[in-house]
Structure 1
């Protein structure tokens, strides 16, 4: 059972999200919060696997709350909820450790799917918004290109093969099939890649590839 925390300053939005998630037999909503500070209190009080997090909230916004949640000893995965006009905040949220984001008008099935995807250690981004984020980031990346390339040089050629497929949005099973590996071997490679790149999840690893200018696609899932 995936234990989920819903964080939004709009009570009606929280209720709607809870109704959507409660319809899935594999998900349970264990708590709700109206802002980032309350979310931290709820996460500290009980075990949480996935947080659906609004970006703009009073007291403590979703980006700052994401960074603090991901610093916990047993950090939950975070999916940000936003609108197109908040692209810059969403990128900051991903950099803070969020596993992805959805638009608030996403289909209920996409919201449920996102919870399952991130709970499995992968991530999910809305394709149109992901494209805008990548374009915006590359216009302001500056010296990060060289830093990203230096980090990628730390990994082996085989790990780079895995990283390239990861940046395409391939799952561990898909990477294993393409490269002729066991899925457990792929998981081990991914763990070493994340450590070498000094990133916390697959989203940040894929963004590192883009920072380095080594990949031009815009993926939906990582």
Structure 2
């Protein structure tokens, strides 16, 4: 029996993780799921392996979260949609066992990684290797700017981007203006609509195919 904990501010992942991973010969049991590291560490029963999102709604620093969990005797598997090179590198240096991207990881891969970590290994996943090797000449974007780049850069319209992200169109336009300015500052200007998708592919893998 392998016991895991999940720390993610998205209720969906806290709810489904146990069902996702309970499908192999060696049973994986979800012991606890919380929205913050502080809540997890306060629990009377915790699992040794923790699946951790990098960006939590409480505003905590992910490197501090990783170190706090390790200091409490836990192993940390980062499972996040955030894939900035500098952040994945910092998470690795803080002691995370490996990194998996939420958009590209299937349940079989996640379960396999959990089993490897339980066996004392620190697997270098494809996502982990890619994030560490990707273009380092990237602008420093805020979380919302990154979300706009990923959505708008996938080819959807400005209006659809605003709807998906729960923003006004004027707010999306302002984020786009700032994104373009930041790319221009590092000598990688965005001159045309298609450049958003190209910059996204250069910095974080292929753009997501739009659903609308």
Q: TM-score with structure 2 length normalisation?
A: 0.57
Deviations 1:81-125 (A, max 9, x none): 123643322211111111001111201100100110111111223
- Higher RCO (CA-CA < 8 Å; seq separation 6+): 1
In 2, Cα distance between equivalents of 1:85 and 1:95 = 15
Q: Tell me, yes or no, if the aligned pair for 1:82 and 1:90 is still in contact at 8 Å.
A: no
Matches within 5 A, 1:1-222: 1-24=1-24, 25-42=26-43, 45-59=44-58, 60-72=60-72, 75-83=73-81, 85-105=83-103, 106-134=105-133
SS in structure 1 at match of 2:96: coil
CA root-mean-square deviation: 2.4
Which residue in the other structure is 2:204 paired with? none
Number of residue pairs matched by the alignment: 135
In 2, Cα distance between equivalents of 1:66 and 1:58 = 16
Structure number with the higher helix fraction is 1
Q: CA deviation at 1:22?
A: 2.8
Higher Rg of the two aligned structures: 2
SS in structure 2 at match of 1:124: coil
Deviations 1:29-50 (A, max 9, x none): 11001122222223xx224221
Q: Tell me, yes or no, if the aligned pair for 1:35 and 1:61 is still in contact at 8 Å.
A: no
Q: 1:108 to 1:47 in 2, by over 3 A?
A: same
Structure 1, unpaired ranges of 5+: 138-222
Structure 2, unpaired ranges of 5+: 137-212
In 2, Cα distance between equivalents of 1:128 and 1:115 = 15
Deviations 1:18-73 (A, max 9, x none): 2112334421111001122222223xx2242210000000223443211111112x
In 2, Cα distance between equivalents of 1:104 and 1:122 = 21
Which residue in the other structure is 1:216 paired with? none
